[in-house]
């Protein structure tokens, strides 16, 4: 039996200047693997530091020597109507930044790839391109293989799902979830899928995943992964963040932390591998 491993999954929030909260949260958590979404890094030196999170994450997780950053798109601002509960949702970043998924680990990462389930890596300045959400914005899953114990390998799929306002899913999200299952089945070793899927638990898309993997938010009867300030807080099960595991993963502990570190709650799992 391998040693107990602690994993964090969290959408850290692109639109919040929450670097100080993020640093203290990660610094105190002492995890073995972190899987983060909406992580930003500078392209232009003059972009606002308050919205750049990668350097803060690296400072707070110095014990995690292995990493792979997978950018999803590049942007210098963001403008959408009727988004996140606001009639006009607008942000300026002061310069071009990238945002994407980030995995850090104390274990050696032997392989990583970015698989786009919608569009491809893009630099966006014309926001009419995706005005009619759900639109054509790039969405990807970060696939990371690592060695956790001797010759024991582990695959992690760190996913930021296709956005939809009602989180009910579409044909596109169903096809994306089918792609996740395919990526997990490429290897014979254990797999963990985690992230912000932008889907409610009862959707057909999520059921595709539950046919093949254990859903920890189901097993632990999680009701919310978003805070009360979220525009969908009145929904009975405001769950959009998940950890799914293959049969070889023995979960010893799973919790969703009610925290103000982001506009999503952190998901933390402690596990062993058979």
Residues 62-117 have pLDDT tens digits of 999 999 999 999 999 988 877 777 788 888 999 999 999 999 999 999 999 999 99
pLDDT band at 1 (very low <50, low <70, confident <90, very high): very low
83 vs 15, higher pLDDT? 15
Q: Which residues contact 252 (CB under 8 A, 6 or more apart)?
A: 4, 270, 271, 272
* pLDDT of 155 strictly over 50: yes
The residues spanned by each domain of the chain are 5-273
* E strand residue ranges, 85-151: 86-105, 108-118, 122-124, 139-149
Dmax (CA) of the chain: 53
User: Burial of 93 by CB count in 10 Å (0-12 exposed, 13-18 middle, 19+ buried)?
Assistant: buried
Predicted confidence at residue 192, as pLDDT, reads 98
269 vs 126, higher pLDDT? 269
Cα–Cα distance, 93 to 55 (Å, whole number): 16
Tokens for 267, please give them. Answer: 């998901």
Residues 201-256 have pLDDT tens digits of 999 999 999 999 999 999 999 999 988 777 666 677 789 999 999 999 999 999 99
126 vs 25, higher pLDDT? 25
Helix (H, G, I), strand (E, B) or coil at 208: helix
Cα–Cα distance, 64 to 163 (Å, whole number): 30
Bond from prior residue into 134 cis (ω within 30 degrees of 0): yes
pLDDT band at 136 (very low <50, low <70, confident <90, very high): confident
pLDDT band at 134 (very low <50, low <70, confident <90, very high): low
Predicted confidence at residue 64, as pLDDT, reads 98
When mean pLDDT is compared across 59-68, 124-133, 135-144, 150-159, the lowest value belongs to 124-133
pLDDT band at 17 (very low <50, low <70, confident <90, very high): confident
- Quick count: other Cβ atoms within 10 Å of Cβ 77? 15
Cα–Cα distance, 43 to 228 (Å, whole number): 34
The single-letter DSSP state of residue 139 is E
Cα–Cα distance, 68 to 109 (Å, whole number): 8
CA dihedral for 143, 147, 149, 152, sign (positive or negative):
positive
The single-letter DSSP state of residue 119 is S
Cα–Cα distance, 178 to 162 (Å, whole number): 13
| Mean pLDDT, the chain, whole residue set | 92
Residues 26-54 have pLDDT tens digits of 999 999 999 999 999 999 999 999 989 99
Q: Which CATH fold would you assign to the domain 5-273?
A: Deoxyribonuclease I; Chain A (3.60.10)
φ, ψ of residue 164 to 5 degrees: the values are -145, 145
């Amino acid at each position: 039996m391998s040693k107990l491993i602690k994993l964090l999954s969290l959408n850290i929030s692109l639109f919040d200047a929450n670097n100080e909260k993020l640093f203290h949260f990660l610094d105190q958590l002492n995890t073995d693997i972190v899987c983060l979404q909406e992580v930003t890094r500078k392209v232009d030196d003059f972009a606002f530091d308050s919205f750049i999170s990668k350097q803060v994450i690296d400072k707070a997780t110095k014990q995690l020597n292995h990493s792979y950053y997978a950018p999803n798109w590049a942007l210098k601002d963001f403008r959408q109507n009727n988004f996140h509960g606001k009639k006009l949702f607008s942000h300026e970043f002061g310069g071009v930044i990238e945002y994407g998924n980030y995995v850090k680990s104390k274990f050696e990462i032997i392989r990583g790839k970015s698989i786009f389930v919608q569009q491809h890596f893009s630099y966006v300045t014309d926001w009419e391109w995706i005005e009619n959400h759900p639109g054509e914005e790039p969405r990807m899953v970060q696939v990371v293989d690592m060695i956790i114990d001797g010759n024991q390998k582990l695959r992690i799929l760190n996913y930021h799902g296709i956005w939809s306002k009602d989180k009910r899913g579409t044909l596109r999200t169903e096809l994306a979830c089918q792609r996740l299952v395919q990526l997990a089945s490429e290897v014979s070793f254990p797999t963990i899928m985690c992230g912000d899927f932008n889907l409610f638990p009862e959707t057909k898309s999520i059921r595709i995943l539950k046919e093949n993997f254990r859903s920890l938010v189901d097993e632990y009867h999680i009701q919310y992964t978003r805070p009360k300030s979220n525009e969908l807080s009145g929904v009975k099960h405001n769950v959009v963040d998940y950890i799914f595991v293959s049969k070889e993963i023995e979960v010893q502990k799973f919790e969703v932390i009610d925290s103000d570190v982001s506009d999503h709650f952190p998901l933390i799992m402690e596990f062993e591998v058979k």
